[in-house]
Structure formats: C-alpha cells, structure tokens
C-alpha cells in the first residue's frame, strides 16, 4: 500500500518538473544555423530550404522571392516554420512595406505569448525569441492596418547552453518528496513497534 502511494507521489512530482517553458525576446541566436532567404530565387510555399527548415503561411498567395519570404499580413496572417531539429532559440531579419505591422502572438512549440510588441519599422529589425524548453516548430501571427507586405530574411535557429542550476520549483518538489517519504517511514516504524 505504501509503495503504491510513494510511486504515485513521485509520478506527480516528475510530471510537475516537466512544466511548460517561458518565452523571452533575444537580440541574437546562440550557435545559430542561418538560412539565407535573400537571393535564393522564387519558390511557392510550403518551401523547405537547404538546411531542412520548412516555411508556410495561412495565405496561399505568399511565396519566397529573391529577397526573402513575402507575406501579405492584412488583416492578419500566421507565418509557420518547422525546424529540422530541436532548438531553444529562433531569430530573423524582419521588414515590411505598406501599413504598420504588429506582432499579435509568438508560438515556440507548445508555448504561446502575446507579451511582445516590438516596434517594427520599414527599414527592418532583428526579431529573436528563446524558450526554456526545446521546440521544433515556430509561428508568428501578425496583424496589419491595411495592405502591406512582410519580408523575412536570414532565418536563424540554435540551442542555448543549458543551465546547470535547477529551477526553484524543482527544489520545492524534491523537498516535498523527502518530507512525505520520511513521514511514511516514520509511520511504518510506529506500526511495527506497536505490533511487536
């Protein structure tokens, strides 16, 4: 009976340690593999580049042209990317022509955030995002106030070195397991002493 209870407790603790990640904005990609979309010619979407990165959007008129992935983001559109291997960081050069463009949401694997509102200018910026857990798919949902064209070039992905310091929740879970385990052992000893 006690063994079943302890096994169930450890199962719950381990499931708690495998929590969702946290997305943050970054200024560069660690150990990046770069897919240069500028100058590769015209390609319909979905398109897989020489690094195995697959690009697609919700708009069937979007394509890759000589200067990068072109997307019509009016009134909204989602650009999706599937990576050839797991990563913790992605980034790209981002430009637009036409009316203002806003990042509505960013999704890395199963984690989504709407917390980032970078100022995107026609002259371009670097947009980079990292997650505390690895992912193989990335999507960017954009909205725009009119007819516009979004261009993504030099898409990068990589994996940041893992931290050897556990999260505070891991310490709490281990401490709880130790307290419950010691309590179970103490209760078992009391029963043995009473029966003897």
Q: Is 58 helix (H, G, I), strand (E, B) or coil?
A: coil
Q: Is the CATH code 2.60.120.430 the one for domain 21-158?
A: yes
Percentage of residues of the chain with pLDDT beyond 90: 37
End-to-end CA distance of the chain: 20
C-beta separation of 131 from 90 below 8 A: no
Q: What is the gyration radius of the CA atoms in the chain, in angstroms?
A: 24
Paired residues of 57 in beta bridges:
79
| Contacts with 98 (C-beta within 8 Å, 6 or more apart), sequence order | 74, 144, 146, 147, 148, 149
Judge if pTM exceeds 0.85. Answer: no
- Residue 107 confidence (pLDDT): 94
Element (H, E) at 157: strand 148-158
- Residue 58 confidence (pLDDT): 87
Residues of the chain with pLDDT under 50: 1-2, 4-18, 164-165
Name the token pair of 175.
């401490």
Per-residue pLDDT tens over the stretch 25-75: 999 999 899 998 888 889 999 999 999 999 999 888 899 988 888 887 667
Element (H, E) at 17: helix 2-17
- Residue 167 confidence (pLDDT): 53
């Amino acid at each position: 009976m006690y063994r079943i209870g302890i096994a169930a407790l450890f199962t719950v603790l381990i499931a708690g340690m495998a929590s969702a990640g946290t997305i943050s904005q970054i200024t560069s990609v660690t150990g990046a593999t770069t897919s240069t979309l500028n100058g590769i010619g015209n390609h319909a979407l979905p398109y897989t580049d020489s690094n195995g990165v697959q690009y697609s959007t919700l708009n069937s008129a979007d394509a890759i042209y000589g200067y990068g992935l072109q997307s019509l983001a009016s009134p909204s559109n989602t650009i999706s990317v599937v990576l050839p291997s797991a990563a913790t960081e992605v980034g790209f050069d981002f430009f637009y022509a036409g009316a203002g463009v806003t990042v509505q949401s960013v999704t890395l694997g199963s984690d989504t955030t709407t917390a980032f509102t970078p100022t995107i200018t026609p002259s371009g910026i670097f947009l980079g995002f990292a997650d505390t857990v690895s992912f193989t798919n990335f999507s960017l949902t954009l909205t725009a106030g009119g007819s516009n064209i979004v261009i993504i070039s030099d898409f990068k992905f990589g994996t940041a070195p893992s931290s050897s310091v556990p999260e505070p929740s891991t310490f709490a879970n281990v401490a709880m397991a130790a307290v419950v385990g010691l309590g179970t052992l103490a209760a078992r000893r009391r029963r043995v002493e009473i029966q003897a």
